[in-house]
Every structure is written in C-alpha cells, then in structure tokens.
Amino acid sequence: MILRLAFRNIVANGWRSITNMLVLSVVLIVIVWMQAMYFSWIRLAETQQIDWEYAKGMLRVRSYDANDPFSWEDSHAPLSAQMQGAVQQGELMPVLLSPASIYPQGRLMSAMLKGIPHDQNLVKLPAKILNPQGRDMIPVLMGTVMARSTRLSKGDVFSIRVKDINGSFNAVDAIVEDVIEIPAVTADIGSIWMDLATLREVKAMEDETTYLVMADAGLKSLEQGEFKHIDKNEYFADLYQMLKNERFQQALLYGLLLLLAMLAVFDTQALAVFRRRREIGTLAALGFTRGKISLLFTVEGALYMLFAGGLSAVLGFPLFWYFAKVGFKLPDSYDEFGIQGFSEPIRFVYPMGEILVIFALILLLTIWVSWIPTRQISRMNPVDALRGKVN
C-alpha cells in the first residue's frame, strides 16, 4: 500500500521527480564510469606487467633499489646451484640489468641494458631476435617510447659504453633489431633489451643475475641468499600507491557529486512534507500512524534512487558499451609519463560487486536524506496538518 502510494506520488510529482532522478542517475553514471576506469586500468596495468616482465613472480637481488640508480651497477649476484637447475629446466629466467651510456647519433644518453635469454618464453618480449649468433653487431630491441626519446629506429646503429665487473669501460656497437610496442612501461622507458649471454660477456659477469622471473608461483621457495622473493604487492607498490592517491581524489569527487544529488533529494522531500501537510493530516485521520507516514515519504526517496538506478542503466548503456568495446585511450604523448596501463586503450570491465556495493550505499544515503525531513511529521499535530498549518 505504501509502495503503491509512494510510486503514484512520484509519478504525480512530474518534472520534479524526473529532475531528481536525472541528477541521481548522472551521479551514478559518473561513479560507475570512474569505478570501471580505475578497476580496468589497474587490471590492465597488472596484466601488462605480468605478461611482459613479472610472469608468476620474481626473485631479485636484495641490493637492487628501483628508486636508487646508484644501486643498479652493483645489483647482481651469482645463482645458487638449485637456481641454476631451475633455470636449465626453464622454471626461472635470469635477467641482468646494467646502467650504460649510449651514443645515438653522437649524443650521450643514459640507458638501462637488460639482458634476457634469447630463447626464453616466460614473458612476451620477442627475445628470439636478440640471438647474436652470426651477427657483427649486438642486436638490441626497444620499445617505441625509448625509440622516440633516443630518436633511434629499426636498423640504426649506435654505441654503448658499459662498465664491466672490474671497473673498466667497454664500448660496443649495437644495431636496433626492432622497435616494438611494449605496453609494460617499465620494460620500455629507458630500457634496451639484448641477449643475456652477450651482456654478461660485455660486463665480464659470467652467471651474474639481477632478477629471476618465475614460471610458477610455487618457486618462491627458492628465495635464498642474495635473492629475495618480490611479491605482487612489492612489485606493484608504485602502482598501488598511485591508485591510493587517485582513490582519495576519487572519494572527494564522489562526495561532491553525492552532496549535490542528496541536496536535490533533501530539497524535494522537505518541500513535499511542507506542501503535502493536508495529505499528511488526511492519512492520520484515516488511521496511518506517524511512523507509517514518515515511511511513505522515506520510501518515495528510496524509489527515486531505485528509478535513478534503472535510468542510469538506460542512459549510461551507450557510454558503458563504448568504453567496454573501444576503450579509453590517453593521447600518445602521455606514454612518456610512464603511467602504467595507459600505453594501450583501457577496455572497461565493470566490477559489478563494487558497483552494487556503491549503489547500496547511495541507496542507504538517499533513504537517510529522505527520512530527515520526515522528522517534522512526528512533531506535526494532525489537526494542524489537516488545516494546512505549519507548526
């Protein structure tokens, strides 16, 4: 009975109801869009990094500090016999990192040389082309961002100067074997990929490794000595920190949007309680308790939100569909910012669980905001209400 009356009142409220629902649905659409954007971005960034660099896990030398370039030169260690066995069985893939100076077209630039076995198949990097067999120069591979910043392209030759284990500088010539799209930014920006054995030879570091990529998460039991298991939280720490900062801004925006929407609902409900005093008195005369009358107004508020949910699904569908199919792409220049996950279009995946929780929270908030003005009803004398008098 209350639901039917509430529904009829909403319909009878005409444009005021429609405006309320529109405001609420726009807020919902924006929130769902942003929620999907963050969710899909993180998912894509994780997938890209996992596909191109992290695989099922990583064992990295303890001395390596991603934020301290001075630590990189010495961040390597020999593998234990057990690790070497796992490498031979293809369960671990060793990678050696070495800071270097490069001279593309005579300019001096810094780069990170990354040695990877040319026969690996744990990550997506097409390392086969790095096989130096029968080549005069060292074949290297780089991502498009690195190629742009060094102004190198496929087939270009440049010199590399690198310090070996004894502190002597060696210079070698390298040829850009290919420039490819590398979605994982840490595998692109500043990185030059070459064959592991070649890099070890140039650096006179036989069997030295900076990190090992795992083929199976269970291999973390091999963590020993110089090598430490890097779990997902540690590996993605920067990404998660960035997400945390974004979440704060996101929460502020959500709060602001919700405040506007709730003001609209509150305003409508407060006006309704004032405008419909005679109806409140009639309901009291017919036997409605004050609680039931308050419930009627509160249900009307909740219905606004439920209808707004439906309206959002209808109005937002083309937008949601577009971003799920085509995706969200930042302009190419954003590549160089090194933001993970933005190197290819983010195709939205909608986290239904999160969206439903958010919807339920907004529904509760709407119910609360709709209920606040009805407190006036509990103070209203039915006789005054029937006369249309304000207490």
Partner 1 sequence: MKEVIATIKDMSKAFPTGPSQFWALKHINLQFVRGEFSGFVGPSGSGKTTLLNILGSLDGPTEGEVEVLGANVHQLSQKAASKLRSEHIGFIFQTYNLLPVYNVYENVEFPLLLLKMDSAKRDKMVKEAIAWVGLSDKIKSRPAQLSGGQCQRVAIARAMVKKPELVLADEPTANLDTENSHHILDTMARLNQELGTTFIFSTHDEKVIKYLKRVIRLVDGEVASDDLASGI
- The conformation of residue 80, written as its DSSP 8-state character, comes to P
3-state secondary structure 286-350: HCCCHHHHHHHHHHHHHHHHHHHHHHHHHHHHHHHHHHHHCCECCCHHHHHHCCCCCCCCECCCC
Least distance between partner 1 and beta carbon 306 (Å):
18
Cβ atoms within 10 Å, residue 147:
19
Q: Which is nearer to partner 1, 14 or 331 (CB)?
A: 14
Least distance between partner 1 and beta carbon 297 (Å):
14
Least distance between partner 1 and beta carbon 298 (Å):
17
Say which residue the tokens 């198949």 belong to. 121
In the chain, the amino acid numbered 331 is P
Q: Which is nearer to partner 1, 153 or 289 (CB)?
A: 289
> Dihedrals φ, ψ of 167, to 5°?
90, 0
Q: Which is nearer to partner 1, 12 or 390 (CB)?
A: 12
Of 192, 126, 206, nearest to 164 by C-alpha is 206
Binding site for partner 1 (CB under 8 A): 1, 5, 8-9, 11-12, 278-279, 281-282, 284-290, 381-383, 386
Q: Which is nearer to partner 1, 59 or 272 (CB)?
A: 272
Q: Which is nearer to partner 1, 117 or 382 (CB)?
A: 382
Q: Are 341 and 48 in contact (CB under 8 A)?
A: yes
Least distance between partner 1 and beta carbon 251 (Å):
39
Of 84, 65, 88, nearest to 207 by C-alpha is 84
In the chain, the amino acid numbered 298 is T
Q: Which residues pair with 158 in a beta bridge?
A: 174
Q: Which is nearer to partner 1, 2 or 34 (CB)?
A: 2
Instruction: Tell me if residue 116 falls in helix, strand or coil.
Output: strand
Q: Which is nearer to partner 1, 186 or 268 (CB)?
A: 268
Cβ atoms within 10 Å, residue 133:
7
Instruction: Tell me if residue 385 falls in helix, strand or coil.
Output: helix
Q: How far apart are CA 370 and CA 367, in angstroms?
A: 5
Q: How far apart are CA 10 and CA 267, in angstroms?
A: 14
Q: Which is nearer to partner 1, 91 or 279 (CB)?
A: 279
Q: How far apart are CA 192 and CA 14, in angstroms?
A: 65
Least distance between partner 1 and beta carbon 1 (Å):
4
Least distance between partner 1 and beta carbon 386 (Å):
7
Q: How far apart are CA 283 and CA 293, in angstroms?
A: 7
Q: How far apart are CA 147 and CA 340, in angstroms?
A: 18
Least distance between partner 1 and beta carbon 383 (Å):
5
Q: Which is nearer to partner 1, 11 or 314 (CB)?
A: 11
Tokens of 63: 């001395």
Least distance between partner 1 and beta carbon 12 (Å):
4
Least distance between partner 1 and beta carbon 372 (Å):
21
